[in-house]
């Protein structure tokens, strides 16, 4: 019996029922596998040109640790710096990335993944002599087990809860505060028999497991990156991606350069783009003005104001924008969910929310309201002000601004609090995810409003090869070309 990961013959994976494998030793701390070479080759000959793409993003990018990828813009950047075991092609089909092949047992409970060990980490001070080493199966085990530990968000752990022993390890790491009292040294269902093989055992069959392994939360990175520096991966990405983090010019600008090392070329075609300049902005207005001045080549995701400004209800460009610009609807969505924060909801606020309809919200996207169970009280009186935790999500901020007008004014008002998590003083809070993770690890269902906003991009005619990726965070740059004359004029 064979299971196909995708329809291409050279990527069909043979199913084998495998017996138990020996576990890796806990005493292995340093992976003894040095770099092949530290040489960087200049891939430009005398006739080849230098190509740069400038990308404008709507979210701030503050952290380069995959476990802390809190917004879609950050995930887009990390997808160029890191790789996971699997990824998606443009049709949304699962394909191997760091994995070379996978064998799945007949009962669907054991995945034996063979790594492509021709992948090397980027050169970094995290390594001896600064030279990036070859990937190792222990990297996968360590990165997945780190997702369970305290001090990191739970998004990655949510994807791995079906792995044998992961939940027990997660609960002990999070709830047994004294490390001396912990008894579990590893996740028993993640086994490393050798440098190129990782065995993952599940509690129950999960047809979506390979898709979960393609999440940016489960990108692979080396242990040295966390142990060698004060900030770890937060300000210094160490991955195997097509690009390296060259420079953080400012809080709102960073530069990615193509990894031109000779062994980085092994087995893969590098994109034409030599450098990608990432810029973020204070507002959608500033972003669009920069785009109109051709300082930005590509906006992969339009914010709520720009969607209303340049597209119609079918997400096609309005006539006045069709000649100068091109639009790409990726088919993916940003998901923004709204919750009542207080354990005992305010009667006045609940009554106002109960009267809300989806037609009241003037945003592009699909609104899902679950407010029919909220009671309306004619006797309730409002507080002077209601608070919501601060959020960078422009969709959530736009909706909250509308809610302030629709629900609160003139009797009260809604204001952002100076903290990003719900407290006893906050009445509404928001959670942001994307359409992929909404299927894999959905937001809790007790929201009273959920808005799914399409991920629609905008780019100039001098940029060609823009394609829709197979995931919301995809930035497929392999086929992107920038007109050289336009590039020179910039």
Residue 200 structure tokens: 């993952």
Place of tokens 């021709």: 118
Q: Give the integer Cα–Cα distance in Å for 254 and 276.
A: 9
Query: Where do we find the tokens 């106002």?
Result: 352
More confident position, 461 or 18: 461
Model confidence at 267, pLDDT cuts 50, 70, 90, reads: confident
165 contact partners, CB below 8 Å, separation of at least 6: 184, 186, 187, 188, 189, 190
Q: Band the pLDDT of 230: cuts 50, 70, 90.
A: low
Per-residue pLDDT for 41 more than 60? no
Inter-CA distances, 426 with 70, 391, 423, 430, Å: 21, 13, 5, 11
Spell out the domain ranges in the chain. 333-454
Q: Phi and psi (nearest 5°) for 261?
A: -60, 150
Give yes or no for residue 221 having a pLDDT over 50. yes
pTM value > 0.85: yes
| Range 250-265 average pLDDT | 89
| Most confidently modeled range among 240-254, 265-279, 397-411 | 397-411
Q: pLDDT of 321-351, one tens digit each? A: 998 999 999 999 999 999 999 877 899 999 9
Residue 392 banded pLDDT, cuts 50, 70, 90: very high
pLDDT, tens digit, for every residue of 88-135? 998 889 999 999 999 999 999 999 999 999 999 999 999 988 999 999
Could you tell me which residues come within 8 angstroms of residue 439 by beta carbon, excluding any fewer than 6 positions away?
Answer: 208
pLDDT score of 31 more than 70: no
Q: Which of 45-49, 101-105, 193-197, 451-455 has the lowest mean pLDDT?
A: 45-49
């Amino acid at each position: 019996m064979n299971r196909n990961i995708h329809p291409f013959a050279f990527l069909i994976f043979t199913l084998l029922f495998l017996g138990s494998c020996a576990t890796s030793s806990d005493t292995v701390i340093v992976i003894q596998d040095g770099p092949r070479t530290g040489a960087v080759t200049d891939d430009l000959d005398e006739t080849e040109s230098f190509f740069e793409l400038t990308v404008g993003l709507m979210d701030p990018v503050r952290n380069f640790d995959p476990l802390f990828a809190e917004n879609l813009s950050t995930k887009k950047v990390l997808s160029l710096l890191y790789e996971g075991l699997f990824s998606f092609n443009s049709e949304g089909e699962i394909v191997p990335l760091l994995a070379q092949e996978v064998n799945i047992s007949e009962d669907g409970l054991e995945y034996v993944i063979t790594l492509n060990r021709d992948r090397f980490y980027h050169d970094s001070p995290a390594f001896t002599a600064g030279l990036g080493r070859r990937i190792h199966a222990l990297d996968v085990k360590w990165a997945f087990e780190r997702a369970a530990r305290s001090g990191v968000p739970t998004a990655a752990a949510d994807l791995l809860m079906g792995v044998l022993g992961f939940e027990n390890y997660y609960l002990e790491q999070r709830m047994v505060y004294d490390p001396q009292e912990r008894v579990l040294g590893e996740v028993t269902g993640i086994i490393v028999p050798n440098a190129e093989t990782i065995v993952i055992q599940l509690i129950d069959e999960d047809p979506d497991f390979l898709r979960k392994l393609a999440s940016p939360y489960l990108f692979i990175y080396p242990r040295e990156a966390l142990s060698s520096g004060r900030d770890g991966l937060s300000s210094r990405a160490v991955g195997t991606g097509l690009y390296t983090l060259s420079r953080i010019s400012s809080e709102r600008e960073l530069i990615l350069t193509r990894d031109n090392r000779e062994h980085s070329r092994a087995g893969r075609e590098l994109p034409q783009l030599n450098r990608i300049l990432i810029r973020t902005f204070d507002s959608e207005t500033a972003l669009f003005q920069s785009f109109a001045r051709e300082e930005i080549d590509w906006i992969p995701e339009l914010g709520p104001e720009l969607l209303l400004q340049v597209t119609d209800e079918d997400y096609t460009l309005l006539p006045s924008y069709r000649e100068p610009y091109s639009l790409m609807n990726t088919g993916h969505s940003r998901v923004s969910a709204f919750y009542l924060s207080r354990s005992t909801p305010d009667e006045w606020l609940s009554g106002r929310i109960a009267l809300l309809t989806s037609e009241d919200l003037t945003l592009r996207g699909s609104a899902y309201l679950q407010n029919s169970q909220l009671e309306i009280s004619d006797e309730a009186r409002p507080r002077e002000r209601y608070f919501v935790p601060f959020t960078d999500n422009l969709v959530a901020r736009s909706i909250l601004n509308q809610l302030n007008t629709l629900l609160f004014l003139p009797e009260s008002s809604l204001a952002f609090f100076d903290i990003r998590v719900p407290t006893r003083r906050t009445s509404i809070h928001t959670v942001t995810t994307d359409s992929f993770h909404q299927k894999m690890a959905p937001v809790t269902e007790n929201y009273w409003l959920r808005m799914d906003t399409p991920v629609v991009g905008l780019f100039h005619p001098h940029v060609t090869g823009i394609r829709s990726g197979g995931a919301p965070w995809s930035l497929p740059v392999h086929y992107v070309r920038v007109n050289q004359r336009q590039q020179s004029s910039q």
